[in-house]
């Protein structure tokens, strides 16, 4: 509902009233206290974090803390984060196959930047990936890649099983100590 009010306004014309358009919002959708609290919280976080890009920081803050209120926008905003996680998973997969991060990045450069996309590869595309990146893989790496992609489904399944198992166990390597006297692993801790 829109209401019009004549409100006295002191400005250049002190004796004249100006017409101000005020949109009265329903109490269900609008709470001045809530908005004030949000802005105060944002101000405090901005002072603490001192971001280089305040607008970007504000959108990040809203997406992280109020994502459910943004009706899907938070998911769209955070899609880059999800893609980065997927790329890191691809790199970890290559490491698990005893291949370098650099070789993993060659595949990511061509667009095979998710575990799902790796499932569609076979040994016949390796030469194209090598040419696209303008590199020559070492013969041992090429053989390892051929072996990996000749049985890619099994290798991915095995990787996911090991990855999930590693996440469950989350072994603390600080508890494994080497005995200084004889150089053996001391498991008494």
Q: Could you state, in order of their start, the residue ranges of all structural domains in the chain?
A: 32-80, 83-173
Residues 26, 68: Cα–Cα separation, whole Å: 21
Per-residue pLDDT, averaged over 84-104, amounts to: 93
Residue 60 has pLDDT above 70, yes or no: yes
Confidence of residue 77 (pLDDT cuts 50, 70, 90): confident
pLDDT at 69: 79
- For the record, the structure tokens of 108 come out as 């990511």
pLDDT at 108: 94
The tens digit of pLDDT for each residue in 129-141 reads: 999 999 999 999 9
pLDDT at 115: 93
Distances (CA, A) of 158 to 23, 60, 104, 109: 60, 35, 18, 24
83-173: CATH architecture: Orthogonal Bundle (1.10)
pLDDT at 129: 95
Residue 144 has pLDDT above 90, yes or no: yes
Residues 51, 44: Cα–Cα separation, whole Å: 12
The tens digit of pLDDT for each residue in 6-38 reads: 444 444 434 343 333 233 444 555 578 888 888
Q: Is 3 helix (H, G, I), strand (E, B) or coil?
A: strand
Residues in the chain: 189
pTM of the predicted protein model: 0.52
Distances (CA, A) of 141 to 12, 35, 101, 104: 79, 57, 12, 11
Residue 179 has pLDDT above 60, yes or no: no
């Amino acid at each position: 509902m829109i209401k019009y009010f004549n409100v006295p306004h002191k400005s250049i014309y002190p004796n004249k009233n100006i017409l101000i358009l005020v949109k009265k919002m329903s109490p269900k959708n609008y709470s001045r206290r809530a908005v004030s609290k949000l802005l105060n919280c944002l101000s405090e976080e901005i002072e603490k974090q001192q971001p280089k890009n305040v607008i970007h920081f504000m959108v990040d803050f809203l997406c992280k803390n109020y994502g459910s209120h943004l009706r899907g926008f938070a998911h769209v905003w955070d899609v880059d984060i999800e893609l980065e996680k997927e790329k890191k998973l691809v790199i970890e997969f290559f490491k698990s196959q005893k291949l370098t991060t650099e070789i993993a990045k060659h595949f990511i450069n061509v667009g095979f930047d998710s575990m799902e996309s790796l499932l569609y590869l076979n040994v016949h595309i390796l030469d194209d990936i090598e040419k696209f990146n303008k590199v020559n893989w070492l013969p041992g790496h090429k053989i390892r890649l051929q072996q990996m992609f000749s049985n890619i489904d099994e290798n991915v399944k095995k990787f996911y099983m090991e990855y999930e198992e590693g996440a469950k166990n989350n072994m603390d390597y600080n508890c494994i100590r080497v005995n200084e006297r004889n150089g053996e692993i001391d498991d008494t801790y």
